[in-house]
């Protein structure tokens, strides 16, 4: 049935020692000539090459054209029979024709606004030429590009160029998924970097004319990333040149092609007028992420796509550590955990749950998930916590030493940690191969100056995995005395059993335990704790994560009760007071303390508590709590709003960004009382996108943004990235009852260019982010969404499939909503000619 299984992995029977490619570019008919030097490794094996949507012009071995009986050509590839192959090393030459202009799937070689570009991960290279398109086949590439365009780029170092042609050579053996080609009328924002060992590297960010003044921040972020990888990991850059290209039509965020990173323009281009603080932070993180792949992904790559989290989990962990050092570490950690819980825990609890290393798939593009990326990063973080900082560095040094130039597995990765630390990680491996978020229940016992913490763990079943073994869980714990002093500093308890107790002896008075500090493991901690204890931790915990967590737990508990009819919890409102007033606390941290759990997270929590979440009641509860906070703390919030204004020219750094975040959090609350007066004033005077967009969002949430929405459109209609925000925000933040109707209207807007993935994601993602709007009991949100998935699928299956995850929570809801979603999923499934991508997703979603 098209399922690919890890158990079926076999090494490729040929070695590719050299690849030479010649491109003759033309929008409707590009010719690609490929010369592969091959060494047979298994006598008698046929030569099987992947290839899709290629028109074969010719094929020859050692200069001799192949005859019709020598090979088999199918929809998915070219197989040259063993009888037609020499036993000694040989050369295969092929020529094919492709049509980049007709490529709307944005996979392989395609065109974006007159520019040629490529996206080959995971399996796009097979749409460029016949090739063993698998990551364990690594070879040096030589590329010649011929085309009537001023800028012609590929991987590696430039060899030679003239008018209408350029040659590139990449000396580092690489898998085909890291191949890239860009050709167009581009301008460079230049830079340079001197490596620790004194080599000069030329840097360029290539953009379309007009965008060159929005590259400065990304360029500086690149230099910081290059330096950080040298100091934190001892890794230097290894080519003479590093190019980044910004592309408007792109399915993903960015791509780490060797020496030629290709970025969604959204994650490169930034100016104070057009990008928000969080855009700047994301840009720095993504620049770093792709750069860090040069070692974790490119020099050491994956043996097969089941091992995707080998490179992605590790590289996300690296970019998170980088951002934590560039900005505020504790704030970054809290933001990462918010994302993990909102998206990965959600995935783990639904029909799409899968292990960080899956063992089967139909379409690998469907596995570029929060589980592979974010949970993969958490697992690396746990390893680091278990072996310590020095142990981690030793393990990574060994990893680079032992595996440079290889295509590796999770087993190789764990073995490096075992060898460097002397630990047995057999049980730890469950984190990689089993799905599901463990529940960790804790109980406390106090007697004779001894505190005993007893933990019980269990992991619920997930698709295809009914029984789960106990995990090896690092639990960071600290103890506080009743006056807030730390009596036992952070200690890592290692849980390996289903049930396990840990004792702390010799304590004069009963302490308050701070458990799972820094979120030391991606688990759901179940702890019977009263509001007073949580308020104590919110006021006193010395671990910033747990301090925030205590407030978050209070807010969540309060909102869950409000969703079932209770009023706001006075104890929670009281507990916020000292946090708001504490000027010693970082503004960014205080902003996070004011951020209530999302509606989707509340639905997740209610479902986990055995209830049926009601999206309308959750929305109403959240709005009511915002109003109650505003009423209770109006004076303090007004003071914050005034005090946190940032004078002078905009700087994207963490400090002013934190002040703006706190100010906007206060604004969102105060808007519930002032009818939007402050937000309207801020919108009118804002000099940067952070404030302008924050004010607009607050007004949209009030349902009172008509004039501002129109003004924003008039001002920014020529700016594609800003207009994405305009589409998204109106839907994400509007009163839920309006969402589906507004989505229909916006889809009629002439600026809704639905074939552009950013624009499609802005509109559909905006709708699905409006929890109560998307889940409107009429089913209008579901129906609209499904209509568009069906429409997009034949054009861009990858993006259609990825967006289908909006439906992954459907089993949480009442039978009425479930029936509506099931109907839509059935309707999608019944569509003729559905892509492999979307049909796999719908099949899994239906469960």
Task: Single out the segment in contact with Zn ion by CB under 5 A; choices: 243-251, 312-320, 469-477, 733-741.
Answer: 312-320
Task: Report d(CA 125, CA 298) in Å as an integer.
Answer: 16
> Min. distance of Cβ 233 from Zn ion in angstroms?
16
Q: How far is CA 282 from CA 222, 268, 323, 606, 610, in A?
A: 13, 9, 9, 31, 36
Q: Contact between 480 and ligand DPP (CB under 6 A)?
A: no
Choose from Zn ion, ligand DPP, none: what does 254 bind? Cβ within 5-8 Å by kind: ligand DPP
Q: Which part of the chain contacts ligand DPP (CB under 6 A), choosing from 135-143, 187-195, 248-256, 383-391? A: 248-256
| Cβ atoms 303, 289 nearer than 8 A | no
Q: How far is the CB of 319 from ligand DPP (least distance, A)?
A: 9
In the complex, least distance from residue 290 CB atom to ligand DPP, rounded to whole angstroms: 5
Residue span 801-840 as binding mask against Zn ion, x where in contact by CB under 5 A, dash where not:
----------------------------------------
Nearer to ligand DPP, 307 or 546 (CB): 307
Q: Does 174 bind ligand DPP (CB under 6 A)?
A: no
Instruction: Single out the segment in contact with ligand DPP by CB under 6 A; choices: 251-259, 571-579, 790-798, 806-814.
Output: 251-259
- Closer Cβ to Zn ion, 256 or 347, answer by number: 256
CB of 290 to Zn ion, least distance (A): 7
Query: Measured between alpha carbons, how far apart are the two ends of the chain, in Å?
Result: 17
| 637 contacts 580 by C-beta, under 8 angstroms | yes
Question: Pick from 551, 538, 541: which is nearest to 486 by CA?
Answer: 541
CB of 68 to Zn ion, least distance (A): 43
Which listed option, Zn ion, ligand DPP, none, makes contact with residue 252 (CB within 5 to 8 Å by class)? ligand DPP
Of 249-257, 328-336, 569-577, 658-666, the window that binds ligand DPP (rule: CB under 6 A) is 249-257
Here the tokens at position 127 are 């749409």
Question: Which one, 50 or 312, has the nearer CB to Zn ion?
Answer: 312
Q: Based on the shown chain and the rule CB under 6 A, indicate whether residue 354 belongs to the binding site for ligand DPP.
A: no
Residue nearest to ligand DPP (CB): 252
Binder of residue 225, out of Zn ion, ligand DPP, none (CB less than 5 to 8 A by kind): none
Residues of span 92-131 touching ligand DPP by CB under 6 A: 121
Quick one: which H or E segment has residue 118?
strand 115-119
Number of residues that bind ligand DPP (CB under 6 A): 9
Quote the CA–CA distance of 237 and 293 in Å, as a whole number.
11
Q: Which is nearer to ligand DPP, 376 or 544 (CB)?
A: 376
Q: How many of the other CB atoms lie within 10 Å of CB of 722?
A: 19
Q: Which of 254, 370, 559, 606 binds ligand DPP (CB under 6 A)?
A: 254
Residue whose CB is less far from ligand DPP, 293 or 547: 293
Distance between CA 763 and CA 801 in Å, rounded?
Answer: 16
The full DSSP string for 33-88 is: EEEEEEEESSTT--EEEE-SS-EEEEEEETTEEPPTTSEEE-SSEEEE-GGGS-SS
- 301 vs 692 by CB, closer to Zn ion: 301
Query: What's the closest the beta carbon of residue 121 comes to Zn ion, in angstroms?
Result: 9
Tell me how far, at minimum, the Cβ of 1 lies from ligand DPP, in Å.
Answer: 27
Smallest gap from residue 81 Cβ to ligand DPP (A): 35
SS3 182: strand
Integer Cα distance of 48 and 58 in angstroms: 16
Burial of 162 (0-12, 13-18, 19+ CB in 10 A): exposed
Query: Is residue 546 within a helix (H) or strand (E), and if so which, with residue range?
Result: helix 544-562
d(CA 495, CA 455): 8
- Among the listed residues 252, 287, 379, 555, the single contact to ligand DPP using CB under 6 A: 252
Work out whether 562 is an interface residue with ligand DPP (CB under 6 A).
Answer: no
The interface region with Zn ion, picked from 18-26, 57-65, 153-161, 307-315 by CB under 5 A, is 307-315
Write down the least CB distance from residue 331 to ligand DPP, Å. Answer: 23
Q: Binding of ligand DPP at residue 284 (CB under 6 A)?
A: no
The verdict on 256 binding ligand DPP (CB under 6 A) reads: yes
H-state helical runs in 211-353:
216-233, 277-292, 308-326, 329-339, 346-348
Three state DSSP letters for 709-748: HHHHHHHHCCCHHHHHHHHHHHHHHCCHHHHHHHHHHHHC
Choice from 289, 354, 385, 403 touching ligand DPP (CB under 6 A): 289
Distance CA 278, CA 604 (A): 25
- Which member of 290, 363, 434, 599 binds ligand DPP (CB under 6 A)? 290
Q: Does 262 sit near ligand DPP (CB under 6 A)?
A: no
**201 lines the binding site for ligand DPP (CB under 6 A):** no
- Contact of 587 with 661, CB cutoff 8 Å: yes
Which among 556, 540, 518, 590 is positioned nearest to 334, based on CA atoms? Answer: 518
State how far the Cα of 240 lies from the Cα of 238, in Å rounded to an integer: 7
CB 306 → ligand DPP: shortest distance, Å?
15
Q: Which of 93, 167, 284, 290 is catalytic?
A: 290
Report residue 320 as tokens.
Answer: 């998170």
Output 381 or 544, the one with its CB closest to ligand DPP: 381
Instruction: Single out the segment in contact with ligand DPP by CB under 6 A; choices: 199-207, 254-262, 511-519, 714-722.
Output: 254-262
Separation of alpha carbons 409 and 393, rounded Å: 19
Interface with ligand DPP, residue 363, by CB under 6 A = no
- Evaluated on CA atoms 706, 712, 714, 717, the torsion sign reads negative
Rounded Cα distance between 667 and 676, Å, is: 9
Stretch that binds Zn ion, among 42-50, 313-321, 556-564, 646-654 (CB under 5 A): 313-321
Give the pair of three-digit tokens for residue 623: 């709005």
Nearest C-alpha neighbor of 423 from the set 366, 352, 496: 496
Residues in region 25-54 near Zn ion by CB under 5 A: none
Pick what 451 binds: ligand DPP, Zn ion, none; C-beta below 5 to 8 Å, kind-dependent.
Answer: none
Q: Do 724 and 758 contact (CB within 8 A), yes or no? A: yes
290 carries an active-site annotation: yes
Token pair in block for residue 137: 């086949």
Please list the active-site residues. 290
Where on the chain is the footprint of Zn ion (CB under 5 A)?
Answer: 312, 315
Where on the chain is the footprint of ligand DPP (CB under 6 A)?
Answer: 121, 252-256, 289-290, 312
């Amino acid at each position: 049935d098209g399922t690919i299984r890890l158990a079926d992995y076999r090494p490729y029977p040929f070695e590719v020692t050299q690849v030479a490619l010649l491109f003759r570019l033309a929008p409707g008919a590009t010719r690609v000539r490929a010369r592969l030097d091959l060494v047979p490794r298994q006598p008698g094996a046929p030569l099987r090459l992947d290839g899709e949507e290629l028109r074969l012009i010719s094929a020859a071995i050692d200069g001799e054209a192949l005859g019709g009986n020598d090979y088999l050509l199918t929809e998915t590839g070219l197989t040259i029979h063993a009888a037609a192959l020499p036993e000694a090393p040989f050369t295969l030459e092929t020529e094919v024709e492709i049509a980049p202009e007709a490529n709307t799937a944005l996979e392989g070689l395609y065109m974006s606004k007159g520019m040629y570009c490529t996206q080959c991960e995971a399996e796009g290279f097979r749409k460029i030429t016949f090739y063993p398109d698998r990551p364990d086949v690594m070879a040096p590439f030589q590329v010649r590009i011929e085309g009537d365009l001023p800028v012609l780029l590929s991987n590696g170092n430039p060899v030679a160029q003239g008018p209408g042609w350029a040659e590139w050579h990449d000396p580092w053996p690489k898998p085909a998924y890291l191949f890239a080609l860009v050709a167009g009328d581009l301008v460079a924002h230049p830079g340079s970097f001197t490596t620790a060992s004194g080599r000069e590297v030329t840097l360029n960010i290539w953009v379309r004319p007009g965008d060159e003044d929005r590259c400065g921040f990304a360029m500086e972020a690149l230099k910081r990333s290059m330096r950080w990888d040298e100091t934190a990991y001892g890794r230097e850059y290894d080519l003479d040149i590093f190019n980044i290209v910004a592309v408007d039509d792109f399915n993903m965020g960015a791509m780490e092609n060797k020496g030629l990173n290709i970025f969604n323009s959204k994650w490169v281009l930034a100016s104070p007028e057009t990008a928000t603080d969080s855009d700047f932070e994301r840009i720095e993180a993504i620049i770093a992420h792709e750069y860090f792949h040069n070692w974790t992904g490119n020099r050491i790559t994956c043996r097969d796509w089941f091992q995707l989290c080998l490179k992605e989990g590790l590289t996300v962990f690296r970019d998170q550590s980088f951002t934590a050092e560039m900005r505020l570490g504790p704030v970054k950690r809290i933001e990462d955990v918010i994302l993990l819980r909102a998206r990965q825990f959600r995935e783990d609890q639904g029909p799409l749950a899968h292990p960080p290393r899956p063992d089967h798939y139909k379409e690998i593009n469907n596995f570029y998930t929060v589980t592979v990326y974010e949970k993969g990063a958490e697992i690396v973080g746990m390893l680091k916590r278990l072996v310590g900082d020095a142990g981690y560095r030793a393990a990574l040094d060994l990893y680079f030493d032992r595996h440079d130039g290889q295509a590796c597995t999770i087993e190789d990765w764990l073995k490096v940690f075992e060898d460097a630390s002397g630990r047995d990680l057999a049980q730890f491996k469950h984190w990689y191969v089993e799905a599901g978020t463990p529940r960790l229940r804790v109980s406390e016992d106090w007697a004779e100056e001894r505190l005993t913490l007893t933990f019980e763990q269990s992991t619920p079943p997930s698709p295809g995995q009914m029984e789960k073994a106990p995990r090896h869980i690092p639990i960071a714990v600290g103890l506080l005395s009743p006056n807030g002093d730390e009596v036992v500093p952070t200690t890592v308890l290692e849980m390996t059993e289903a049930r396990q107790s840990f004792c702390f002896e010799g304590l004069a008075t009963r302490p308050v335990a701070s458990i799972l500090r820094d979120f030391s493991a991606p688990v759901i901690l179940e702890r019977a704790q009263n509001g007073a204890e949580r308020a104590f931790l919110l006021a006193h915990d010395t671990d910033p994560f747990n301090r925030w967590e205590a407030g978050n737990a209070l807010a969540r508990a309060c909102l869950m009760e409000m969703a079932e009819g209770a009023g706001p919890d006075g104890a929670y409102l009281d507990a916020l007071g000292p946090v708001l007033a504490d000027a010693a606390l970082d503004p960014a941290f205080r902003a996070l303390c004011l951020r209530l759990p999302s509606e989707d997270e509340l639905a997740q929590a209610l479902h986990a508590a055995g209830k049926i979440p009601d999206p309308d009641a959750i929305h109403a509860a959240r709005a009511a709590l915002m109003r109650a906070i505003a009423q209770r703390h109006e004076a303090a919030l007004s003071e914050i709003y005034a005090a946190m204004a940032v004078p002078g020219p905009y700087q994207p750094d963490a400090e002013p960004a934190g002040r703006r975040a706190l100010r906007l959090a206060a604004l969102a609350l105060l808007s519930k009382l002032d009818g939007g007066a402050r937000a309207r004033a801020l919108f009118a005077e804002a000099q940067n996108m952070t404030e302008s967009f924050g004010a607009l969002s607050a007004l949209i949430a009030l349902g009172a943004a008509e004039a501002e929405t129109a003004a924003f459109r008039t001002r920014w209609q020529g700016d594609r990235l800003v207009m994405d925000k305009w589409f998204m925000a109106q839907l994400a933040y509007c009163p839920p009852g309006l969402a589906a109707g507004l989505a229909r209207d916006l889809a009629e807007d002439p600026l809704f260019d639905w074939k552009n993935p950013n624009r499609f994601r802005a509109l559909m993602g905006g709708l699905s982010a409006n929890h109560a709007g998307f889940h409107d009991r009429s089913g209008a949100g579901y129906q609209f969404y499904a209509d568009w998935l069906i429409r997009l699928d034949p054009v861009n299956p990858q993006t259609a499939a990825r967006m289908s995850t909006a439906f992954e929570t459907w089993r949480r809801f009442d039978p009425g909503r479930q029936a509506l979603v099931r109907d839509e999923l059935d309707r999608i499934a019944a569509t003729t000619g559905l892509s492999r991508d979307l049909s796999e997703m719908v099949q899994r979603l239906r469960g």
